[in-house]
Amino acid sequence: MEFEERADQLSPEEISTSLADGEILKKARQKLLATGAKLLIGPRGTGKTHLMRYTYSQSLLNKSAPLVLYSSFNRYLHLEPLLKKTPDALKRFHSWVLARILLSAFDYINDLSSSGDFLKDIDPIFDESKLRELVSLLERGSGVDLYESYGQYVTVDHAIKAVRSLTARFNRNRAVLLLDDAALSLSDQYLVAFFEIFRVLKVEGIAPKASVYPGTTQYGPTFHASHEVEEVPLWLSVEDPAYSTIMGDIANRRLTSDQQKVISPDILELFKYTAFGIPRVFLRLLREFFSERAGTSQSKVNKIIDQQVEFIGAEYDSIALKLKQFSSVIQIGRSFFSNAVVEISELQNKDLSKRNIVLGILQSGDRTPLADRMIRFLIEVGMLFPLQSVSHGQNRKYDRYIPHLAFLYQGGAFKEGKRNTFRGLPQLMSAVAAKHPLRREFKSLLSYRELADLKLDLPPCQKCGTQRFNDSQQFCHNCGEPLVGSSLFEECMKLPLSEVPGISEALIWRIHQDTKIRSVSDVVISQNASSELQKANYVGPRRAENIIKKVELTVEEFLS
């Protein structure tokens, strides 16, 4: 069986029926519809997109709800090469963001099978086909002419005007803008530019809501998250009293009744907790369970959890490939996390009558911004769940985190005797919590060597090979040459086809033999990749489409 774990791939019907209930989700849904700017916060896979798309389709037909528009900014990195190539990259990004918001107005009209002509009568800038062309050209790194003649004149006022006209036209009191995938976590410059727009979109009758990752606290000099917007957490804590119920609801909505009979309640319970509050991981665990050979043995379940641990770890490690300057930070973060898991597992396993899964890190002046960034990466991918910090006396404030339960499970935290059992973890989650977390200083979780290595990995000057001072340096102090950074997008485009998962070696060999296609970029940029691919033996339209899809998926994964 297959079920889709990515909300952006679900049909509107599936979106409507598959959203779980539960206090945290109800509250988040209310906040999305409420007035005022909000940030919807959760790591990848917590259901931000699902919730937004659900909110959108529910309010589409409900006349008493506000007008809700949905737009996604997950393709922002396609504009990243501009930052290296053109002085007005930020302006083009600006008009890309606004064009996407304006298009969400047209999407709304189209979804209601209405006509958008009235918008064009208000202002000729509201031109759906031009906007679509502009967006698609900008994402392909071109469109200079259209931007010059049209795109640059699209302003925030236009967006506001369009939203207001739509609100009036469809008899709604006010409007909500759902801005999905706004974490823009791989490009600080665009992040700042985005939240400048976000801030001015907040006017009477319009409430912008953006989905972001946890851990980010800086949204640029003009935007202060803490007092300008309300933060809406979506990441369900494993310590939430309703945790098991909410996760169970997700399973009920996605599993067939046959499947629900096959899986034992104990295993389901174990999966709920090892998913660590992230529905996408939960669904992945379930999918693995049902696609593996029959059987409910402990070793099969352990294998599935091991796989997920590896998968999450690989996702974390991949940040180092994307943000090369942070590769040491990522590597040391991994070892920091492993040490924490070992220590907590040991402590927890000594006494299984109390729950003892919280790590407390002493707040101290010697923690560098880079150390904070290191912890943020772990939070962003969902390996550390942040809790409120607590005070244990003067100058003894502790930041508290729960490490991912699947890692603790694998680390033996919940073993009864020498073996992991289905029930160990769920039972412990209903036990009382220990009074104090495992208290550590930041530096005690790392070796002396690792602490010293916690630095940015900046490429040396491309001309004379001198090391850089820091990441803000733009000219070599030895030879004076402008220092050139690498573009993440271009790195991705350079990937050879052999790096794309799911294409057999034999197929790649034939493509090499018969076509000019070598790298990811050849597929993505080509006007007609399909017909070029079909020049290879045994590649017809279906197989060509299949290859293109796989390449696109790789690009999306790489750039998200």
Partner 1 sequence: MATPFKTQLTTCLVSAPPRLSTHLLFDNNHLEPTSSPIDQFLDRLHSINRLSPDPANFDPLQGQLVLLGVIAAVESYLRTLLRKIISNDEISQDASYKRDISFGAAVHLHKDMMPEAILERVSFISKESITGTIRECLGIKGHSPSYLETAIDDYVKICHLRHCAVHRFGRLGASNALALGIQDHRELLEKPLLLDYLSLQTAISISTNLVKTINNFLFNEIISRLPDHTWQGTYSKDKKQFSLYYRIFADSVSSLGATADCKSLYAEFQLQRRNYLAGQVR
Q: Which residues bind partner 1 (CB under 8 A)?
A: 86-88, 91, 144-145, 147-148, 152, 462-463, 469-470, 472-482, 484
Q: Decide whether 137 or 433 has the Cβ nearer to partner 1.
A: 137
Q: Minimum Å distance from CB 194 to partner 1?
A: 18
Q: Minimum Å distance from CB 90 to partner 1?
A: 8
Q: Decide whether 118 or 475 has the Cβ nearer to partner 1.
A: 475
Q: Minimum Å distance from CB 527 to partner 1?
A: 12
Q: Decide whether 144 or 242 has the Cβ nearer to partner 1.
A: 144
Q: Decide whether 297 or 470 has the Cβ nearer to partner 1.
A: 470
**Tokens (6 digits) for 435:** 């009074």
**Burial letters for 338-358: b for 16+ Cβ neighbours within 10 Å, e otherwise?**
ebbbbbbbebbbeebeebbbb
Q: Minimum Å distance from CB 480 to partner 1?
A: 3
Angle at 224 between CA 403 and CA 315, to 5 degrees: 30
Q: Decide whether 94 or 400 has the Cβ nearer to partner 1.
A: 94
**Burial letters for 10-28: b for 16+ Cβ neighbours within 10 Å, e otherwise?**
beeebbeebbbebebbeeb
Q: Minimum Å distance from CB 154 to partner 1?
A: 12
Q: Decide whether 264 or 473 has the Cβ nearer to partner 1.
A: 473
Q: Minimum Å distance from CB 147 to partner 1?
A: 7
Q: How far apart are CA 221 and CA 226, in angstroms?
A: 13
Strands 397-403 and 384-391: antiparallel
Q: Minimum Å distance from CB 456 to partner 1?
A: 13
Q: How far apart are CA 23 and CA 30, in angstroms?
A: 10
Q: Decide whether 58 or 152 has the Cβ nearer to partner 1.
A: 152
Distances (CA, A) of 191 to 143, 248, 282, 473: 22, 36, 30, 20
Q: How far apart are CA 185 and CA 214, in angstroms?
A: 10
Q: Minimum Å distance from CB 88 to partner 1?
A: 4
- Tokens 């244990």 belong to 392
With beta carbons less than 8 A apart as the criterion, state whether 232 and 38 touch: yes
Q: How far apart are CA 101 and CA 115, in angstroms?
A: 18
Residue 408, exposed/middle/buried by CB under 10 A (0-12, 13-18, 19+)?
A: buried
Report which DSSP code applies to 76.
Answer: G
Q: Decide whether 147 or 289 has the Cβ nearer to partner 1.
A: 147
